[in-house]
Amino acid sequence: MRWSEIGGQECSIARTLSVIGDRWTLLVLREAFMRIRRFEDFQQRTGAPRPILAERLKALVDDGVLERESYCDHPSRYEYRLTAKGLDLYPVIVTLMTWGDQWMAGSEGPPVGLRHNQCGHVVRPSLACPDCGEWVGPHDTTPIVREGAWALDQGAVSS
């Protein structure tokens, strides 16, 4: 199977990866969440090759994750901002960062922390059940596969 076809699968993970699963895309979004908005800044801070960055930005705009807005006529200049759809990727960015903090940080510890504005603490947000409020880990949930949606219907998450 070709990578460009994964969005056709009936799987929310595959479909999400068809939008943000390419090289450099998530680094671009990391910068977008750090208020970076312009081509040159994205280029310098991610290190992505310019032709690839141009292509990724275009694709993210087409997918509705970023919007391209003019901030100057003569010469025409544009900036890229997160849409509501893009802002909704915040949990993906945070969980990627959290895992890296936990497993990939050097001796100096994580380079970036998140201060929770409400309580003031620097925290690593984690997953909780919206119904009962309990913390949710890999052994706390069972996948429920809709009829006919998946080839195999496996049980709970494995160890």
Partner DNA sequence: TCCATGAGTTCTGTTTCGGAACGTAAGCCC
Partner DNA sequence: GGGCTTACGTTCCGAAACAGAACTCATGGA
Query: Which is nearest to 84 in space by CA: 61, 68, 56, 65?
Result: 65
The label of the residue with tokens 């994205």 reads 42
The partner residues of 69 in beta bridges, in order of sequence, read: 79
- Is residue 144 at the binding interface for a second copy, with CB under 8 A as the rule? yes
CB under 5 to 8 A by kind: which of DNA, a second copy, none does 107 bind? none
Nearest to 62 by CA among 41, 86, 42, 35: 86
CB of 142 to DNA, least distance (A): 25
135 SS3 class: strand
Give yes or no for residue 38 binding a second copy (CB under 8 A). no
Residue ranges in contact with DNA by CB under 7 A: 1-4, 22-24, 38-41, 48-52, 54-55, 57-58, 68, 74-75, 77-79
Q: Which option in DNA, a second copy, none does residue 75 bind, with CB closer than 5 to 8 A by kind?
A: DNA
Nearer Cβ to DNA (33/78): 78
Q: Which is nearer to a second copy, 12 or 74 (CB)?
A: 12
Max alpha carbon distance in the chain (Å)? Answer: 60
3-state secondary structure of 69: strand
Q: Which residue has the tokens 């006919």?
A: 148
Give residues 101-120 in contact with a second copy (rule: CB under 8 A): 101-106, 108-119
- Residue 10 within binding range of a second copy, rule CB under 8 A: yes
